[in-house]
């Protein structure tokens, strides 16, 4: 059944691709539709407009340029529900000035006139005294010109998951400019080589975290202009930082006045009609991936973000919801293959994802794609030519859940080393995973970050170095470092961290809304805490930086999976080798071990490279980093050699063979 399903999926993809070649002149031309649909400036100053509105009786363009006359500029009806309008230049100038407001006017089947924002609109803004967004024609005399080439495709990613609007200690919506000049240097210093940007696609509701998109081709104006975003990406590239967009093609906002919903006056258009077109948990609309024009819209959307803004790839949100007709609602996934093959799989959505990855890989092979899928769909990260989904990476979503469960439910003495190792290494062969201890999900109000779970209210009172180090803060700081390092080194082929969590940000994330009196107090990141020498946040920040710098030097994320030589339940010790390094973790809350034997593959002289107990990381400095550990030809735990190491309680160590220069 699995082979038959893979053949059927590939056949569906191949037939779509063949039809695009035959009917549209090829995938290249088909996905350039963002240059013809919407309102586009011509070289001679004229304007060409095109829309797909199959349910409309008539279509018009209105705006500041014509005094908002709803009928003076009618579109011409074409085949297949398309409409077009050409407006010649006026004295060599554009008939629609830059910065003027526009609306597509739809005459619905019931005769009503509907004022809509074009689905292809590039810039929308909301005045403070208004609820809905307005479409603004964006055609500046001089657009931003990128100065720096995109970084070369990375062998592995150290991702800093970011939200532009909260990237400031101040209680306000931060800007692209702020991110460019204040946050990017911080990301670079911390050793991250990739930034993943959330909430860029325009969304009317700020508190949706960007996941209720209203304008798919518009960069959010609440942070600045399109050129400000282009500059931000350009500066990131000058630093060698890859920039990914968190793209939401799994659903869309239900807004109609400033969104896609009911664009042509019907319940369908871009979406399934009726029950199938609505997500019952997210209260949003679901795309009809079998529709030709929906494929044009979504594929062109990806290409626009790559070619206009120079994004280096995408993290596809909500892939699980796309893959299954049940959208993952009320469904558990055990790994049984029957869960991934059958009528419950939405093969039209899967085909779209295959087309998207094929297009990106063909036209922009330097770009990266990541799937957010909790189900574990097999072959999602295998090439399309193999019948796979074509993604480069998938998120290891079981890992943060495991850490939450352990911290929440178990005493330190009851932590199961084998279960931790299993969760960190349980991934599909030859599919790349992005490991993370926590993401934005854990930072949101209603949940807790690892730091908050470990230290809770004491973070407000006992993080000063002038205060005695309490057992709660001591435990929290040590485990925070250990959890992040073992996840980084053992959990996947890339690593992700949400902004602020690297230093144990003390508060949750909550956007302004009626329930909190529209407060911005929790919609910010207090980076200033790491710059205060009297606060212990600096220790966690320093450890995160040095952990990333060490990976940059040795490249364990791009190395084969680690060999785990020890997971000792009573001693609470885990040891493994990866990229020529030895990683040792002692999770025991109070037991230290003198001359603890650890099995190794390569003989030689070893020294400590990273010690979570070091003073600069807020530890107790119980180890001498000048100590040399000489291997013995003494087999241990199925390794031909071994070393004897002093391992204090609650410590993580990374050792390097100094006989092998790096």
Q: What is the pLDDT of residues 124-153, one digit of tens each?
A: 999 988 999 999 999 999 999 999 999 999
Q: Cα–Cα distance between 447 and 115 in angstroms, integer?
A: 40
pLDDT for 443 equals 79
Which residues, at least 6 apart from 219, have a Cβ–Cβ distance to it below 8 Å? 123, 200, 201, 202, 226, 229, 309
Ranges of beta strands (E only) in 3-46 are: 38-41
For the record, the structure tokens of 255 come out as 């807004």
Distances (CA, A) of 576 to 33, 266, 386, 584, 631: 51, 59, 33, 7, 15
pLDDT for 628 equals 94
For the record, the structure tokens of 100 come out as 């003027």
Asked whether residue 191 carries a pLDDT value surpassing 70, the answer given is yes
pLDDT for 71 equals 96
Q: What are phi and psi of 274, to 5 degrees?
A: 70, -150
pLDDT for 76 equals 98
Angle, helix 347-363 to helix 2-24, in steps of 10 degrees: 60
Do the beta carbons of residue 420 and residue 574 sit within 8 Å? Answer: yes
Coil, strand, or helix at residue 194? Answer: strand
Whether residue 659 lies in the annotated active site: no
Do the beta carbons of residue 422 and residue 461 sit within 8 Å? Answer: no
Catalytic residue among 228, 246, 372, 502: 372
Asked whether residue 103 carries a pLDDT value surpassing 60, the answer given is yes
pLDDT for 654 equals 98
Asked whether residue 1 carries a pLDDT value surpassing 60, the answer given is no
DSSP state of 82: E
Q: Quick one: average pLDDT of 58-74? A: 98
pLDDT for 429 equals 87
Coil, strand, or helix at residue 459? Answer: helix
Q: What is the 3-state secondary structure (H, E, C) of 248-273?
A: CCCCECCCCCCCCCCCCCCCCCCECC
Q: Cα–Cα distance between 629 and 646 in angstroms, integer?
A: 10
Q: Cα–Cα distance between 211 and 381 in angstroms, integer?
A: 23
Q: Quick one: average pLDDT of 513-526? A: 91
CB-CB neighbours of 149 under 10 Å: 11
Q: Which range, of 64-68, 472-476, 508-512, averages the lowest pLDDT?
A: 508-512
Asked whether residue 523 carries a pLDDT value surpassing 60, the answer given is yes
C-alpha gyration radius of the chain: 27
Asked whether residue 106 carries a pLDDT value surpassing 80, the answer given is yes
Tell me the pLDDT tens digit for each residue of 259-282: 999 999 999 999 999 999 999 999
For CA atoms 277, 283, 285, 289, the dihedral sign is negative
pLDDT for 413 equals 96
Asked whether residue 445 carries a pLDDT value surpassing 90, the answer given is no
CA 347 to chain centre: 24
Asked whether residue 291 carries a pLDDT value surpassing 80, the answer given is yes
Helix (H) or strand (E) holding 294, with range, is helix 292-307
Q: What band does 8 get if pLDDT is binned at 50, 70 and 90? A: confident
Q: What band does 6 get if pLDDT is binned at 50, 70 and 90? A: confident
**Considering the entire predicted model, what is its pTM?**
0.97
- The percent of residues in the chain predicted with pLDDT above 90, rounded, is 93
Q: Cα–Cα distance between 422 and 418 in angstroms, integer?
A: 6
Whether residue 308 lies in the annotated active site: no
Q: What are phi and psi of 371, to 5 degrees?
A: -105, 130
Angle, helix 417-425 to helix 471-490, in steps of 10 degrees: 40
Do the beta carbons of residue 259 and residue 214 sit within 8 Å? Answer: yes
pLDDT for 442 equals 83
Asked whether residue 171 carries a pLDDT value surpassing 70, the answer given is yes
pLDDT for 446 equals 67
- The percent of residues in the chain predicted with pLDDT above 70, rounded, is 99
Among the listed residues 626, 586, 585, the one whose alpha carbon sits nearest the alpha carbon of residue 609: 626
Asked whether residue 3 carries a pLDDT value surpassing 80, the answer given is no
Among the listed residues 65, 74, 72, the one whose alpha carbon sits nearest the alpha carbon of residue 99: 65
Tell me the pLDDT tens digit for each residue of 644-657: 999 999 999 999 99
Do the beta carbons of residue 274 and residue 268 sit within 8 Å? Answer: no
Tell me the pLDDT tens digit for each residue of 369-400: 999 999 999 999 999 999 999 999 999 999 99
Among the listed residues 613, 599, 629, the one whose alpha carbon sits nearest the alpha carbon of residue 485: 613
Q: Quick one: average pLDDT of 617-633? A: 95
Question: How many Cα neighbours within 13 Å face the side chain of 370?
Answer: 28
CB-CB neighbours of 321 under 10 Å: 24
Among the listed residues 552, 589, 581, the one whose alpha carbon sits nearest the alpha carbon of residue 565: 581
DSSP state of 182: I
Coil, strand, or helix at residue 357? Answer: helix
Tell me the pLDDT tens digit for each residue of 322-349: 999 999 999 889 888 899 998 999 999 9
Q: What band does 662 get if pLDDT is binned at 50, 70 and 90? A: low
Q: Quick one: average pLDDT of 484-489? A: 98
Tell me the pLDDT tens digit for each residue of 555-604: 999 999 999 999 999 999 999 999 999 999 999 999 999 999 999 999 99
For the record, the structure tokens of 350 come out as 């899967």
The β-bridge partners of 201 are 219
Q: What band does 7 get if pLDDT is binned at 50, 70 and 90? A: confident
pLDDT for 358 equals 98
Q: What band does 638 get if pLDDT is binned at 50, 70 and 90? A: very high
Catalytic residue among 161, 231, 264, 317: 317
CB-CB neighbours of 480 under 10 Å: 27
Do the beta carbons of residue 650 and residue 478 sit within 8 Å? Answer: yes
Q: Is 80 exposed, middle or buried (0-12, 13-18, 19+ CB in 10 A)?
A: exposed
């Amino acid at each position: 059944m699995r082979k038959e399903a893979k053949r059927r999926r590939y056949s569906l993809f191949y037939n779509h691709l063949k039809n695009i070649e035959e009917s549209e002149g090829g995938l290249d031309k088909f996905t350039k539709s963002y240059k013809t649909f919407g309102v586009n400036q011509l070289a001679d100053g004229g304007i060409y407009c095109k829309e797909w509105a199959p349910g409309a009786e008539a279509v018009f363009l209105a705006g500041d340029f014509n005094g908002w006359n709803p009928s003076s500029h009618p579109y011409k009806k074409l085949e297949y529900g398309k409409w077009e309008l050409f407006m010649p230049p006026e004295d060599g100038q554009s008939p629609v000035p830059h910065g003027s407001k526009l609306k597509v006017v739809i005459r619905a089947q019931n005769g009503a006139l509907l004022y809509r924002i074009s689905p292809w609109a590039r810039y929308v803004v909301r005045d403070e005294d208004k609820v809905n967004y307005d479409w603004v024609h964006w055609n500046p005399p001089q657009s931003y010109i990128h100065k720096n080439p995109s970084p070369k495709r990375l062998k592995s990613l150290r991702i800093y998951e970011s939200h532009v609007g909260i990237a400031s200690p101040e209680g306000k919506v931060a800007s692209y400019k702020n991110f460019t000049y204040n946050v990017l240097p911080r990301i670079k210093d911390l050793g991250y080589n990739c930034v993943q940007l959330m909430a860029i696609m325009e969304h009317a509701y700020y508190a949706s975290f960007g996941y209720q998109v209203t304008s798919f081709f518009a960069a959010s104006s609440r942070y600045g202009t399109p050129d400000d975003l282009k500059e931000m990406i350009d500066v990131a590239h000058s630093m060698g930082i890859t920039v990914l967009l968190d793209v939401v093609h799994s659903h869309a906002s239900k807004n109609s006045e400033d969104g896609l919903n009911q664009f042509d006056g019907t319940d369908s258009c871009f979406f399934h009609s009726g029950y199938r077109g609505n997500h019952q948990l997210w209260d949003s609309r679901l795309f009809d991936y079998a529709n030709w024009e929906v494929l044009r819209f979504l594929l062109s959307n990806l290409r626009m973000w790559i070619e206009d803004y120079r994004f280096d790839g995408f993290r596809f949100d909500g892939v699980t919801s796309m893959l299954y007709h049940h959208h993952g609602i009320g469904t558990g996934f055990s790994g049984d293959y029957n869960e991934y093959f059958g009528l419950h799989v939405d093969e039209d959505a899967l085909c779209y994802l295959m087309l998207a990855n094929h297009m990106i890989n063909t036209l922009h092979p330097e770009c990266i794609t990541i799937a957010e899928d909790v189900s574990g769909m097999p072959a999602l990260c295998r090439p399309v030519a193999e019948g796979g989904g074509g993604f480069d990476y998938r998120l290891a979503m079981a890992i943060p859940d495991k850490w939450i469960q352990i911290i929440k439910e178990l005493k330190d003495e009851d932590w199961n080393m084998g279960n931790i190792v299993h969760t960190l290494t349980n991934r599909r062969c030859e599919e790349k995973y992005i490991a993370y201890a926590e993401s934005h999900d854990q930072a949101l109000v209603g949940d807790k970050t690892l730091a908050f779970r470990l230290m809770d209210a004491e973070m407000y009172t006992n993080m000063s170095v002038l205060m005695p180090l309490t057992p709660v803060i001591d435990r929290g700081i040590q485990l925070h470092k250990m959890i992040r390092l073992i996840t980084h080194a053992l959990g996947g082929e890339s690593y992700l961290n949400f902004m602020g969590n690297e230093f144990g940000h003390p508060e949750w994330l909550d956007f302004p809304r009626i329930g909190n009196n529209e407060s911005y107090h929790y919609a910010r990141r207090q980076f200033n805490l790491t710059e205060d020498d009297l606060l212990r946040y600096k220790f966690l920040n320093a450890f995160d930086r040095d952990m990333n710098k060490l990976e940059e030097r040795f490249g364990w994320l791009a190395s084969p999976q680690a060999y785990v030589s020890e997971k000792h339940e009573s001693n609470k010790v885990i040891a493994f080798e990866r990229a020529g390094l030895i990683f040792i973790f002692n999770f025991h809350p109070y037991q230290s071990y003198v001359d603890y034997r650890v099995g190794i593959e390569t003989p030689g002289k070893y020294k400590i490279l990273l010690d979570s107990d070091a003073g600069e990381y807020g530890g107790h400095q119980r180890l001498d980093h000048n100590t040399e550990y000489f291997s013995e030809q003494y087999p241990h735990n199925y390794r031909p050699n071994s070393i004897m190491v002093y391992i204090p309680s609650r410590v993580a160590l990374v050792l390097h063979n100094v006989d092998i220069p790096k």
